[in-house]
């Protein structure tokens, strides 16, 4: 899973990205690796997995990971090639979801490219670039559909649908906000439009505003309104504070957060929010050798989940031995859970749940 951090210049993208990299570098539990200067892999914090590690003391501890890409350089005119615009747009095309950092902090020393703090305008500026790029892509698809229609009438529905999407884009709406049935949604995702990607607005607030809460904050409210219009999620953060937190040792970090009345850092919240935005859950495997979290889409059935570990597991799937995390904790050990008959044997149709601890049985 890959997330792209976008936003206008000087809104706090790099600060957030550095906070993410730092947090990983500081944490022995959740190591981080930098793949390229602007690409980093970060572990998904998971208290359940930590508990399993305490229980099994495994040789290997492997949390689920997500990749963050700092996509700097989006400016007004990017879709027309301003400031290497097209390169940045193609970077966005490669990610699964977008984190759009919106500046909500005032600071006279830090220039705003548009001269003032105005979240709504900033969001529209970025949206416009993405929409213009989408229009180009969609027009190519429309041409193709029109040609197909000449040979076969069945393409009329597709053409009508894409024209409806085009009209929405023309009027400044994102593709995400177009009402679709299941078939149309599939059609839409076959075009790979930037404005159809899941998005979280990260409202980057000043430390004071963040501390005093977002209620009544007009900048945050503006981001929230945009998010509602766009079918997007929204999360308040303070990138600067995150950067500070990320430099602390784990014990200090907890104290610092407690001091702010928080139990988890903004980064942890961001990662969790991205996970749910993308409809992802984790199942866990646990043993002396390794305790590990695996990412799957909500609704995944047992054989496909097994396939995440190895294609052979999916092909030769027999059954899954499953126990919920809480059940295991109540029993204390896997052996006690087995004695109580809590370890369930599930077949091909079983839909995996978040936090399931699984052992797959398969034929080779
Ligand atoms: P980018 O261009 O979007 O990557 O922005 P940067 O992360 O480089 O941030 C631009 C400037 O704003 C830097 O000097 C940051 O220290 C500062 N900055 C980022 N977040 C905050 C914040 O929450 N409050 C304040 N006051 N400054 C911030």
**Residues 222-260 pLDDT 10s:** 999 999 988 888 999 999 998 888 888 878 888 888 888
Tell me, what's the ipTM?
A: 0.95
User: Does the annotation list 12 as a binding residue?
Assistant: yes
**Mean pLDDT throughout 168-188?**
94
Domain identity same for 188 and 233: no
pTM recorded for the entire structure? 0.86
Q: Pocket around ligand 1: residues whose beta carbon is below 6 Å from it?
A: 7, 9-15, 72, 105, 107, 110, 204, 206, 238-240
In 3D space, the residue among 289, 284, 293 whose CA is nearest the CA of residue 320 turns out to be 284
Expressed in angstroms and rounded, the spacing between residue 359 Cα and the centre of ligand 1 is 46
pLDDT (0 to 100) of residue 30: 53
Domain identity same for 38 and 74: yes
Task: Please say which residue of 195, 221, 240 terminates a domain.
Answer: 195
Domain identity same for 189 and 206: no
**Residues 306-350 pLDDT 10s:** 999 999 999 999 999 999 999 999 999 999 999 999 999 999 999
User: Does the annotation list 345 as a binding residue?
Assistant: no
**Residues 41-91 pLDDT 10s:** 888 888 999 999 999 999 999 999 888 898 876 777 766 765 555 677 888
Domain identity same for 171 and 111: no
Integer CA distances (angstroms), 208 to 18, 96, 299, in order: 21, 33, 41
Residue 286 sits at φ, ψ, to 5 deg, of -140, 140
Domain identity same for 353 and 263: no
Domain identity same for 33 and 94: yes
Q: Establish if 293 belongs to a structural domain.
A: no
Helix axes 119-151, 218-229, angle to 10 degrees: 10
Q: CA 76, 79, 85 angle in degrees (round to 5)? A: 75
Domain identity same for 203 and 189: no
Q: What domain count does the chain have? A: 3
Q: Establish if 51 belongs to a structural domain.
A: no
Q: Please give the residue range of the domain that contains residue 248.
A: 2-45+65-117+198-277
């Amino acid at each position: 899973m890959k997330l792209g951090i976008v936003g206008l210049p000087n809104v706090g993208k790099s600060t957030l990205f550095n906070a993410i990299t730092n947090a990983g570098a500081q944490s022995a539990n959740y190591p981080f690796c930098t793949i390229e200067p602007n690409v980093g892999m970060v572990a998904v914090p998971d208290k359940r997995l930590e508990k399993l590690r305490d229980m099994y003391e495994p040789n290997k501890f492997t949390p689920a990971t997500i990749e963050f890409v700092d996509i700097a350089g989006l400016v007004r005119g990017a879709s027309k090639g301003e400031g290497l615009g097209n390169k940045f747009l193609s970077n966005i095309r490669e990610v699964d979801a977008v984190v759009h950092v919106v500046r909500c902090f005032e600071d006279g020393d830090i220039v705003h490219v548009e001269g003032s703090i105005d979240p709504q305008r900033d969001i529209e500026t970025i949206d416009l670039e993405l929409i213009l790029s989408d229009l180009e892509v969609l027009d190519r698809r429309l041409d193709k559909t029109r040609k197909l229609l000449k040979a076969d009438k069945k393409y009329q529905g597709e053409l009508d649908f894409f024209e409806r999407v085009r009209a929405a884009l023309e009027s400044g709406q994102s593709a995400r906000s177009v009402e679709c049935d299941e078939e149309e949604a599939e059609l839409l995702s076959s075009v790979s439009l930037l404005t159809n990607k899941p998005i979280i607005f990260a409202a980057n607030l000043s430390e004071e505003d963040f501390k005093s809460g977002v209620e009544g904050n007009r900048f945050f409210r503006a981001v929230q309104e945009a998010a509602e219009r766009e079918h997007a999620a929204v999360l308040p953060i303070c990138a600067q504070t995150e950067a500070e937190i990320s430099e602390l040792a784990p014990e200090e970090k907890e104290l610092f957060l407690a001091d702010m009345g928080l139990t988890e850092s903004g980064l942890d919240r961001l990662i969790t929010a991205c996970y749910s935005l993308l409809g992802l859950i984790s199942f866990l495997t646990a043993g002396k050798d390794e305790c590990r979290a695996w990412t799957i889409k909500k609704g995944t059935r047992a054989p496909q989940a097994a396939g995440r570990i190895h294609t052979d597991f999916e092909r030769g799937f027999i059954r899954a031995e499953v126990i919920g995390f809480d059940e295991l904790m109540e029993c204390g050990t896997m052996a006690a859970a087995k004695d109580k008959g809590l370890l369930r044997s599930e077949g091909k149709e079983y839909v995996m749940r978040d936090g399931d601890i699984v052992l797959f049985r398969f034929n080779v």
